[in-house]
C-alpha cells in the first residue's frame, strides 16, 4: 500500500463507511446437507469522526457481526461475502491479511463483552494494555505506559499508577471492563468497537463504566460503534442509533428521534418494552409463605450469606427480591426450597411449618412450591421431549397416565401459548423463549401455590422477556399462584411486583409494598440501585451520576 506506515488522514470527515455488507456462514445441521445462511444482508452505514453509532437488536440480529466487520473479521467461520468496508477512505477488505493486521489494533480497536474472558490471566494488565501500541510501533514502551496510566486516570480506575502491575483476577469486573477500554484507547485508534461492554455487569456498576466510557470517548474524540441489546444504555452514549432485525436494518436515525419518535413498529415495540401496567394488590390477612429470621451459611458457619431475613408472600401475589450479585437473593430461594437448610429461623407455608431439609418435606409441600430457573436450557433434560418434561409432574403428583395425562399436557401447552404441536420436540429444538415457557408449564403442572422465579427473564431478549412477564401475570390471574421473583432488573420489578424486598450483603435493607418501597425517602443502597437503572431518556446518565450518594461495589 502506498500510504504504508503512517496513518492515512483524509480530508473528508467520514471515518467508516460500510456499503451493502453481506455476511454469510455455513451451517452444518445433522441429517442435512451443509447450507449457507445469510447473517447480515445489505446493511450500509456511515460514521463520522468522533461520533458514536449504537447498533441495537435482539440476539441473532447480526449486530456483533457488523461490528466485527468494521475490523474485517468474521467470527467462527463467518465470511464477509459482499459489500465494502471503507475505513479512512480505503476498503480494508481488499488489503489482504497484511493490510488487516495493520488496521487492527492501530486504527480500529475492540472492547469485548466479557473482559474476564478476554484478558489473558497469565499476564499483567499493563503488558496487555500496551501490547497493540508497541506492536504497531506507536512509540516506546515508556511512552505507551505513560499514556495507559493517563487513560486509567481518565477512566477513574483506583490507584492508576500501580493497577497495571496487577493480574486480571486481582481487579473487579467493572474495573476490568474499564482497563479493557484503556487498552483499546492506548494505541489512539480512530474507531473503537464496543461489543456489549456493560451487559455482564451489575446494574450499579454498569452506570460507572458507562460514564467512564462516555467521558473517554468525548475526551479522545474517537469514533465508536456501540453494540448492545439495551436501548436505554445506547441512548446514553450514542449520537445515532441503528436498529437491526434478522440481519437487516430496520431504522436508522438520530438518538433522540429513535427514542422519542420511532418510525417503525419494531422500534416502537423495543422502546415500549416493560411498560406493563400492573395494579398493586393489597396484602391478604394471612401470608402464604412467611420467612422468619432466616440465617444461612455455606461451608459450615464460616460465611454467612443470609442474616436475619424475614419476608412474607401473600396468596396470588408477587414478592420481588432485588439486589446485585452476591446479595444472597438466590440463596434465599435455596433456603425456601430446602436445598440449603438454614442455621437459624423458620419458614411457614400455607399454615404449616416447612421442614428445613428437602428430604424431610411431604410430597404436598414439594408440589405446592415450584421453581423456575434462569437458564431454561439446563433446567430441562436434553434427552426428554416436551411431553415427558411437562407430563412427569402430572404422573408423579396426580398419578395421571396415558390419555388423561396427554390431554392435560395439551391444555398446559395451550396455556403457555405454544400449542400441542410441540409435544414431541426436544429442548434443543426450541427457542430461548419457548424453553422458558415449557419450564413455566412444568411448574404449573404441579398446581402450585407458590412459584419461585430465579432471574427467569435475564437470559432473554427484551421482547421475549416481555412476553414471558405478561404470560406470568396472566397465569397468576386465573391460577391464583404467588410468585417469589428474584431479579436484578428494576424495570421487571416495577412491571410485576406487589411487594418488594431489597437485599444487600445478605440482609433485607428495605421491605414493603411496591409503593412504599419505591416512595422516597430512600436509604442509601436503594437509592443507588434505583438511580442506576438506565432510563430510556437522553441525558439520564449525567443526572443520575450527579445525584448519587453511595459508591457501587464494582461487580
Contacts with another protein, residue ranges (CB under 8 A): 30-31, 337-339, 358, 361, 363, 366-367, 370-371, 373, 375, 378-384, 392-393, 396, 426-429, 442, 446
CB of 373 to another protein, least distance (A): 5
CA distances to 101, 141, 339, 393, 394 from 399, in Å:
65, 73, 25, 9, 6
CB 32 within 8 A of CB 97: no
List the helix and strand counts (H, then E) for the chain.
Answer: 21, 20
Nearer to another protein, 28 or 478 (CB): 28
Nearer to another protein, 13 or 32 (CB): 32
Nearer to another protein, 14 or 355 (CB): 355
Hey, what long-range contacts does 406-414 have (CB within 8 A, 24 or more apart)? 408/445, 409/445, 412/441, 412/444, 412/445, 413/386, 413/441
Measured N-to-C along each axis, helices 432-445 and 386-398 cross at an angle, to the nearest 10 degrees, of 10
Task: Please state, in angstroms and rounded to a whole number, the distance separating the CA atoms of residues 438 and 452.
Answer: 15
Using alpha carbons, select from 232, 120, 230 the residue that is nearest to residue 179.
120
CB of 426 to another protein, least distance (A): 3
CB of 466 to another protein, least distance (A): 23
CB of 337 to another protein, least distance (A): 6
Nearer to another protein, 115 or 445 (CB): 445
Nearer to another protein, 172 or 325 (CB): 325
Taken as a whole, the chain contains a residue count of 555
CB of 306 to another protein, least distance (A): 19
Nearer to another protein, 135 or 353 (CB): 353
Burial class (CB in 10 A: 0-12, 13-18, 19+), 102: middle
Q: Which residues does residue 82 pair with via DSSP β-bridges, in sequence order?
A: 22
| Cβ-proximal residues to 179 (8 Å cutoff; 6+ apart), any chain | 115, 119, 125, 129, 152, 155, 157, 163, 171
CB of 393 to another protein, least distance (A): 6
Instruction: Provide the 8-state DSSP code for 323.
Output: -
CB of 363 to another protein, least distance (A): 5
C-alpha cell at position 299: 461451608
| Cβ-proximal residues to 545 (8 Å cutoff; 6+ apart), any chain | 207, 211
Nearer to another protein, 47 or 369 (CB): 369
CB of 372 to another protein, least distance (A): 9
Nearer to another protein, 375 or 471 (CB): 375
Amino acid at each position: 500500500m502506498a500510504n504504508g506506515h503512517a496513518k492515512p488522514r483524509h480530508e473528508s470527515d467520514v471515518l467508516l463507511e460500510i456499503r451493502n455488507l453481506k455476511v454469510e456462514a455455513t451451517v452444518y445441521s445433522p441429517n442435512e446437507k451443509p447450507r449457507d445462511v445469510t447473517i447480515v444482508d445489505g446493511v450500509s452505514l456511515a460514521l463520522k469522526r468522533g461520533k458514536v453509532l449504537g447498533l441495537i437488536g435482539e440476539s441473532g440480529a447480526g449486530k456483533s457481526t457488523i461490528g466485527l466487520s468494521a475490523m474485517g473479521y468474521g467470527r467462527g467461520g463467518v465470511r464477509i461475502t459482499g459489500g465494502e468496508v471503507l475505513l479512512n477512505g480505503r476498503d480494508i477488505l481488499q488489503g489482504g491479511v497484511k493490510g488487516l493486521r495493520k488496521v487492527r489494533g492501530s486504527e480500529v480497536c475492540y472492547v469485548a463483552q466479557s473482559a474476564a474472558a478476554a484478558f489473558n490471566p497469565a499476564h499483567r494488565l499493563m503488558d496487555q494494555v500496551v501490547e497493540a501500541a508497541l506492536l504497531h510501533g506507536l512509540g516506546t514502551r515508556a511512552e505507551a505506559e505513560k499514556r495507559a496510566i493517563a487513560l486509567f486516570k481518565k477512566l477513574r480506575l483506583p490507584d492508576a499508577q500501580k493497577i497495571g502491575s496487577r493480574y486480571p483476577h486481582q481487579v473487579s469486573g467493572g474495573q476490568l471492563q474499564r482497563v479493557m477500554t484503556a487498552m483499546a484507547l492506548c494505541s489512539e485508534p480512530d474507531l473503537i468497537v464496543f461489543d456489549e461492554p456493560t451487559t455482564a455487569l451489575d446494574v450499579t456498576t454498569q452506570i460507572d463504566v458507562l460514564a467512564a466510557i462516555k467521558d473517554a470517548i468525548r475526551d479522545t474524540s474517537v469514533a465508536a460503534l456501540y453494540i448492545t441489546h439495551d436501548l436505554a444504555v445506547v441512548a446514553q452514549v450514542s449520537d445515532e442509533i441503528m436498529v437491526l432485525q434478522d440481519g437487516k436494518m430496520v431504522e436508522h436515525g438520530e438518538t433522540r428521534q429513535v427514542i422519542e419518535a420511532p418510525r417503525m413498529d419494531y422500534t416502537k415495540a423495543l422502546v415500549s418494552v416493560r411498560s406493563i401496567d400492573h395494579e398493586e394488590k393489597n396484602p391478604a390477612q394471612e401470608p402464604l409463605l412467611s420467612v422468619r429470621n432466616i440465617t444461612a451459611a455455606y461451608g459450615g458457619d464460616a460465611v454467612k450469606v443470609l442474616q436475619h431475613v424475614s419476608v412474607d408472600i401473600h396468596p396470588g401475589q408477587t414478592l420481588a427480591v432485588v439486589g446485585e450479585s452476591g446479595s444472597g437473593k438466590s440463596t434465599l430461594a435455596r433456603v425456601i426450597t430446602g436445598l440449603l437448610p438454614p442455621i437459624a429461623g423458620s419458614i411457614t407455608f400455607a399454615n404449616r411449618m416447612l421442614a428445613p431439609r428437602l428430604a424431610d418435606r411431604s410430597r404436598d409441600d414439594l408440589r405446592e412450591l415450584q421453581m423456575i430457573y434462569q437458564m431454561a436450557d439446563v433446567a430441562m433434560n436434553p434427552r426428554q421431549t416436551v411431553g415427558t418434561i411437562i407430563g412427569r409432574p402430572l404422573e408423579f403428583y396426580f398419578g395421571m397416565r396415558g390419555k388423561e395425562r396427554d390431554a392435560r399436557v395439551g391444555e398446559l401447552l395451550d396455556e403457555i401459548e405454544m400449542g400441542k404441536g410441540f409435544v414431541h420436540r426436544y429442548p434443543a429444538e426450541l427457542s430461548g423463549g419457548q424453553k422458558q415457557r415449557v419450564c413455566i408449564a412444568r411448574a404449573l403442572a404441579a398446581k402450585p401455590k407458590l412459584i419461585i422465579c430465579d432471574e427467569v427473564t435475564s437470559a432473554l431478549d427484551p421482547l421475549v422477556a416481555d412476553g414471558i412477564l405478561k404470560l406470568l401475570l396472566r397465569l397468576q390471574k386465573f391460577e391464583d399462584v404467588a410468585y417469589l421473583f428474584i431479579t436484578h432488573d428494576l424495570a421487571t420489578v416495577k412491571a410485576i411486583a406487589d411487594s418488594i424486598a431489597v437485599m444487600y450483603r445478605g440482609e433485607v435493607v428495605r421491605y414493603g409494598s411496591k409503593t412504599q418501597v419505591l416512595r422516597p425517602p430512600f436509604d442509601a443502597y436503594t437509592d443507588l440501585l434505583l438511580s442506576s437503572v438506565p432510563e430510556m431518556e437522553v441525558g439520564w446518565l449525567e443526572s443520575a451520576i450527579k445525584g448519587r450518594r453511595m459508591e457501587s461495589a464494582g461487580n
